[in-house]
C-alpha cells in the first residue's frame, strides 16, 4: 500500500478527509462533515440545528490516473424548520441523492458533448442510465428554457424520429441557424405550444416563417401570429410536383404500346433529376427519346422547369403573372393529377408571392435535419424525446 497522500486533491470546503486507501487499481477516500460548519439544508440552504440521523454512502469521483476513485462520505440528515421536513445536508461537493461528485458530473457532461452516453459509460465504468441522467440534468439547466431572443425569421419543418409516422416539429432561427425548439408530433397544437411560450412583444418581432404546405402548421401560424408572412419554399413544391410527374408517367405507361413501354420503363428516377445533373450519355439519350415520344410527359417536364422560374421573380406582380401562365399551361395537359396540383398552387398562392418579399427557403433546415439524423444514428435512436430535443438544441446553439 502506498504512503503517498492524495488528500490535497480533495480540498472540499465542508468535509474533512480523515483516511485513505490507495492501491494500483482503486483509491478510497474517507470523508466526514467538518463540524466547524453548521449543517445546511440542501433545498433552501438554511442553517439547521436538529440532526435526525447519520448516513454513509460511496460517491464516485474523477479517476486518479488509471485508478478508480470513490469517496466514502458520512453525512447527516437534518430537520429543516423552513422546509418542515427532514433533508439531506448540503456538503457542496456532491448533489444530494446523486452518487457522483459535482466535478465528475461536469466531466461527464463535457464528454457527452462529443461522445455517446454508451461510450462515456464504458470509459468511466458507469451505468449508461447514470450518464444519461447527469447529461440531461445539465442540458435542462442550460437549454431547458426556450430562448426566444431576437427571432425575426423562422423555418419550420418536421423530422421522423422512428418508423410508424412518428415525427417531431423543428423550429429554426433562419438567420443564425440555431435550433430554437423541438416538439413531439407535427400537429397544429404542437407548433402552438412554441408560440404560447412567447411574449406579445416577441411575437410582434416575428416577420416571416418559411415552411412546406402543411395545413396544421399554417393553421398554427395564422391563429397565433396572424401578422407573420408565411413563405412556401421551392424545394417542397418541386418535390410534390415530382410525385405528379410520376403519376403521369405511370398512366402514360399503361396506355402505351409495347414498343413505347420499353422507352417509358425505367425512367422514374431519370425524370426526377434536373437535366444538369444527368451525366451519363445513355441517360441523356434515354430522356431525349422519352420526351420526343410522349407529349404528356414532355409537357409535365416543361411545367417542372417553369415552376422553378416563379421563385426567381423579384416582384409580386411578376410572380403573379408567372403563376397565371403556369396554371394556364398546366390545364392543357388534361391530367387529373396535374389539375389537382393547379388547385393546390392556387390555394397556396399567397405563400409563393410572399417569397418575393422574403426570398428564403428551407434548404438550411434540410441541412439541419441531416445533422439531426446523424445525432440520432450516433446514439442508435432516442427513447426519451425530451433528451433528444435538448441534445439537438445543444448541437446547434449559437453563443
- Do 215 and 302 belong together in one domain? no
Identify whether 372 is part of a domain. Answer: yes
Closest of 204, 223, 198, 222 to residue 152, by C-alpha: 204
Report the relative pairing of strands 153-162 and 166-173 from DSSP bridges.
antiparallel
With cut-offs at 50, 70 and 90, classify the pLDDT of residue 8.
confident
- Do 260 and 371 belong together in one domain? no
pLDDT in tens, 169-220: 999 999 998 999 999 999 999 999 999 999 999 999 999 999 989 999 999 9
∠ CA(382), CA(130), CA(374), 5° rounding? 30
- Structure confidence at residue 1 (pLDDT): 47
Q: What is the mean pLDDT of residues 35-61?
A: 90
Our count of domains for the chain comes to 4
pLDDT in tens, 224-234: 999 999 999 88
Identify whether 6 is part of a domain. Answer: yes
pLDDT in tens, 76-91: 999 998 999 999 989 9
DSSP state of 311: T
- How confident is the prediction for the chain on average, in pLDDT? 88
Q: How far is 322 from 118, CA to CA, in rounded Å? A: 55
- Do 69 and 138 belong together in one domain? no
Tell me, yes or no, if the pTM score tops 0.85: no
Sheet holding 153-162, edge to edge: 178-184, 166-173, 153-162, 208-211, 229-232
- Do 250 and 350 belong together in one domain? yes
Q: How far is 362 from 370, CA to CA, in rounded Å? A: 13
Q: How far is 228 from 357, CA to CA, in rounded Å? A: 12
Residues 6+ apart with CB under 8 A from 323: 310, 345, 349, 352, 353
- Do 285 and 217 belong together in one domain? no
Identify whether 383 is part of a domain. Answer: yes
- Do 351 and 303 belong together in one domain? yes
Q: What is the mean pLDDT of residues 113-126?
A: 91
What CATH number does the domain containing 212 carry?
3.30.420.10
Of 98, 117, 133, which residue is a domain's last? 98
Identify whether 126 is part of a domain. Answer: yes
With cut-offs at 50, 70 and 90, classify the pLDDT of residue 254.
confident
- Structure confidence at residue 273 (pLDDT): 74
pLDDT in tens, 134-162: 999 999 999 999 999 999 999 998 888 87
Report the relative pairing of strands 153-162 and 208-211 from DSSP bridges.
parallel
- Do 94 and 104 belong together in one domain? no
Report the relative pairing of strands 166-173 and 178-184 from DSSP bridges.
antiparallel
Identify whether 148 is part of a domain. Answer: no
- Do 271 and 342 belong together in one domain? yes
- Do 91 and 104 belong together in one domain? no
The parent domain of residue 294 ranges over 236-357
- Do 220 and 366 belong together in one domain? yes
Q: What is the mean pLDDT of residues 239-260?
A: 86
Q: How far is 1 from 354, CA to CA, in rounded Å? A: 76
- Do 216 and 250 belong together in one domain? no
- Structure confidence at residue 201 (pLDDT): 95
Identify whether 242 is part of a domain. Answer: yes
Q: How far is 62 from 108, CA to CA, in rounded Å? A: 10
- Do 124 and 267 belong together in one domain? no
Amino acid at each position: 500500500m502506498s504512503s503517498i497522500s492524495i488528500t490535497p486533491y480533495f480540498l472540499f470546503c465542508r468535509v474533512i478527509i480523515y483516511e485513505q486507501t490507495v492501491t494500483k487499481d482503486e483509491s478510497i477516500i474517507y470523508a466526514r462533515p467538518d463540524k466547524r460548519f453548521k449543517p445546511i439544508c440542501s433545498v433552501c440552504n438554511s442553517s439547521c440545528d436538529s440532526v435526525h440521523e447519520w448516513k454513509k454512502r460511496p460517491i464516485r469521483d474523477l479517476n486518479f490516473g488509471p485508478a478508480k476513485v470513490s469517496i466514502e462520505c458520512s453525512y447527516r440528515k437534518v430537520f429543516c424548520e423552513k422546509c418542515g421536513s427532514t433533508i439531506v445536508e448540503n456538503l457542496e461537493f456532491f448533489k444530494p441523492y446523486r452518487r457522483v461528485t459535482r466535478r465528475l458530473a461536469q466531466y461527464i457532461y463535457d464528454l457527452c458533448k462529443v461522445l455517446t452516453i454508451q461510450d462515456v459509460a464504458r470509459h468511466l465504468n458507469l451505468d449508461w442510465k447514470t450518464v444519461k441522467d447527469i447529461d440531461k440534468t445539465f442540458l435542462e439547466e442550460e437549454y431547458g428554457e426556450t430562448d426566444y431572443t431576437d427571432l425575426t425569421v423562422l423555418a419550420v419543418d418536421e423530422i421522423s424520429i422512428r418508423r410508424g409516422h412518428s415525427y417531431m416539429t423543428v423550429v429554426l432561427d433562419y438567420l443564425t441557424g440555431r435550433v430554437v425548439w423541438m416538439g413531439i408530433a407535427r400537429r397544429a397544437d404542437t407548433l402552438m405550444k412554441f408560440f404560447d411560450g412567447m411574449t406579445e412583444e416577441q411575437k410582434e418581432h416575428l416577420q416571416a416563417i418559411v415552411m412546406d404546405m402543411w395545413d396544421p402548421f399554417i393553421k398554427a401560424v395564422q391563429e397565433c401570429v396572424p401578422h407573420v408572412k408565411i413563405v412556401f419554399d421551392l424545394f417542397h413544391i418541386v418535390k410534390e410536383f415530382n410525385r405528379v410527374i410520376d403519376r403521369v408517367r405511370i398512366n402514360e405507361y399503361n396506355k402505351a404500346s409495347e414498343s413505347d413501354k420499353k422507352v417509358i420503363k425505367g425512367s422514374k428516377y431519370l425524370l426526377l433529376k434536373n437535366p444538369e445533373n444527368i451525366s451519363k450519355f445513355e441517360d441523356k439519350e434515354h430522356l431525349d427519346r422519352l420526351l420526343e415520344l410522349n407529349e404528356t410527359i414532355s409537357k409535365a417536364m416543361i411545367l417542372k422547369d417553369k415552376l422553378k422560374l416563379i421563385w426567381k421573380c423579384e416582384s409580386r406582380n411578376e410572380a403573379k403573372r408567372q403563376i397565371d401562365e403556369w396554371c394556364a399551361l398546366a390545364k392543357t395537359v388534361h391530367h387529373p393529377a396535374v389539375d389537382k396540383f393547379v388547385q393546390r398552387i392556387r390555394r397556396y398562392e399567397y405563400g409563393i408571392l410572399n417569397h418575393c418579399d422574403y426570398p428564403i427557403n428551407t434548404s438550411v433546415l434540410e441541412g439541419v435535419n441531416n445533422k439531426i439524423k446523424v445525432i440520432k444514428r450516433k446514439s442508435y435512436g432516442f427513447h426519451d424525446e425530451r433528451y433528444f430535443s435538448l441534445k439537438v438544441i445543444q448541437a446547434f446553439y449559437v453563443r
